[in-house]
């Protein structure tokens, strides 16, 4: 992401200086370097000790993997069973969950090989597009620049207006915002990046009040794009002059973006492939637009509300329950939301994850039952709702 011409030039200069070092000095360094290499070679005793510890580690790890594999296979089997029962409209009981916690590896650590390791090039980081990349892609592929707010409160006001009209409550919107952004996030806040932490790096493409991923945006445009186009068309009908011309251009671009999002099957994997292209980055730039962004953010939460309602869930979702559906997906989140409190106290969070996702999620591991996970979510919402950004969003309603 950073271009470092000075560092490149310095490297070139250093290489040039090395090339003009007298040959005699370079030759004198040879025996010393060879002696150093021999001095670093591990002793036979060190190698034997390493091999012994390595064998102990491999045996302990193999035993753990056998237990862990059986556990996560049981998790998958129970999940398939619950899905089948739901299709048949049968009641879900405690027997439909794994009620023990995942096994933890408690054996020896992998020993360090005393032999010198061959030099390997550093692993290249996966490129994560940031806001500047999204804006560049929108300009290059759609000849469009999102309409940014004059100030952050304008965006909050637009979001509150759209969310209220869609039926979201102030509590739901503000508390989800507080959880996702820490209660101070701007409309262009990206996960991992912070102005208060120089040198911080983006850790995902999640942006905005609800931290939408690039794939979320592609999916929302594919599934809700026609509704978003209709909303902007109605808004355009009340405009004239330059604002109407700008809105007409925005609508034309939006229709092209919706067509692009709908050019693949309506599946997460297919949307993810589009999201990882420059055109997908361009679609994600719409999260920043003061007209389209609030609609995308609202639809992300509204689809969960509608999903629960269509499943016969009549009471309003709490903000923490809505966040569970927002984070884990509607089907998985609904599984937790519909669980009676007594069951929430007993069912491990591992039931709602794949193994790789669970092992990378310290929050789900520490707060390892449904009740604990919902409680810590609520607690974080409580704390962050008092921050300035959350108070401003509440006032916008």
Beta strand spans in 253-355 (E): none
User: Angle CA(41)–CA(44)–CA(46) in degrees, nearest 5?
Assistant: 80
Average pLDDT of the segment spanning 192-214 = 89
Q: Can you say how many angstroms the Cα of residue 283 is from the centroid of all Cα atoms in its chain?
A: 17
Of 281, 286, 290, nearest to 141 by C-alpha is 281
Written as six digits, the tokens of 268 are 């997460």
Q: Can you say how many angstroms the Cα of residue 321 is from the centroid of all Cα atoms in its chain?
A: 18
Average pLDDT of the segment spanning 65-75 = 96
| pLDDT score of 151 more than 80 | yes
pLDDT at site 15: 30
Angstrom distance (rounded) from CA 335 to CA 328 = 10
pLDDT at site 87: 87
Average pLDDT of the segment spanning 369-394 = 96
pLDDT at site 141: 97
* pLDDT bracket for residue 132 (50, 70, 90): very high
> What is the DSSP annotation of 171-207?
HHHHHHHHHHHTT---TT-BTT--TTSTT----SS-B
* pLDDT bracket for residue 6 (50, 70, 90): very low
* pLDDT bracket for residue 227 (50, 70, 90): very high
pLDDT digits over 160-181, tens only?
999 999 999 999 999 999 999 9
Of 249, 275, 277, 274, nearest to 264 by C-alpha is 274
Written as six digits, the tokens of 343 are 């069951």
> What is the DSSP annotation of 10-62?
HHHHHHHHHHTS-HHHHHHHHHHHHHHHHHHSPPHHHHHHHHHHHHHHHHHHH
* pLDDT bracket for residue 31 (50, 70, 90): very low
* pLDDT bracket for residue 82 (50, 70, 90): very high
pLDDT at site 331: 86
Q: Calculate Rg over the CA atoms of the chain.
A: 27
Of 350, 357, 319, 353, nearest to 337 by C-alpha is 319
Average pLDDT of the segment spanning 40-60 = 90
Average pLDDT, the chain: 88
Angstrom distance (rounded) from CA 173 to CA 153 = 15
| pLDDT score of 291 more than 90 | yes
Secondary structure (3-state) at 348: strand
Question: HSE on the CB side for 217, CA within 13 Å?
Answer: 31
């Amino acid at each position: 992401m950073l271009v470092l011409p000075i560092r490149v030039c310095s490297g070139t200069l250093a290489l040039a200086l090395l090339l003009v070092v007298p040959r005699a000095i370079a030759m004198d360094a040879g025996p010393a370097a060879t002696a150093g290499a021999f001095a670093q070679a591990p002793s036979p005793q060190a190698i034997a000790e390493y091999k012994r510890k390595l064998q102990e580690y491999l045996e302990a790890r193999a035993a753990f993997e056998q237990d862990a594999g059986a556990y996560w296979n049981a998790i998958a089997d129970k999940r398939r069973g619950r899905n089948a029962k739901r299709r048949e409209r049968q009641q879900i009981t405690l027997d439909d969950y794994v009620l023990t916690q995942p096994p933890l590896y408690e054996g020896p650590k992998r020993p360090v090989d005393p032999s010198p390791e061959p030099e390997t090039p550093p692993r290249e980081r996966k490129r994560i597009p940031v806001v500047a990349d999204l804006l560049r892609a929108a300009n290059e592929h759609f000849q469009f620049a999102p309409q940014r707010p004059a100030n952050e409160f304008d965006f909050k006001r637009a979001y509150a207006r759209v969310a209220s009209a869609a039926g979201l409550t102030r509590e739901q919107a503000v508390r989800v915002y507080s959880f996702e952004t820490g209660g101070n996030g701007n409309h262009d806040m990206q996960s991992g990046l912070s102005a208060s932490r120089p040198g911080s790096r983006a850790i995902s493409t999640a942006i905005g009040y609800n931290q939408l991923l690039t794939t979320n945006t592609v999916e929302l445009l594919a599934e809700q794009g026609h509704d978003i186009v209709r909303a902007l068309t109605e808004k355009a009908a009340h405009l004239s002059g330059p604002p109407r011309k700008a809105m007409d251009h925005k609508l034309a671009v939006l229709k092209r973006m919706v067509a692009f999002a709908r050019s693949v099957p309506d599946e997460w994997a297919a949307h993810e492939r589009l999201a990882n292209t420059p055109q997908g980055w361009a679609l994600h730039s719409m999260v920043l637009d003061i007209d389209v962004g609030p609609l995308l953010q609202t639809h992300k939460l509204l689809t969960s509300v509608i999903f629960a309602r269509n499943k016969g869930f009549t009471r309003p979702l709490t903000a923490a329950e809505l966040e569970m559906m927002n984070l884990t997906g509607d089907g998985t989140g609904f599984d937790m939301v519909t669980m009676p409190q007594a069951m929430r106290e007993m069912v491990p969070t591992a039931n709602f994850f794949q193994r790789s996702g669970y092992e990378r999620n310290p929050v789900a591991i520490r707060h390892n039952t449904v009740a604990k996970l919902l409680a810590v979510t609520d607690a974080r919402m409580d704390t962050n709702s008092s921050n300035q950004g959350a108070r401003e969003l509440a006032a916008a309603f």
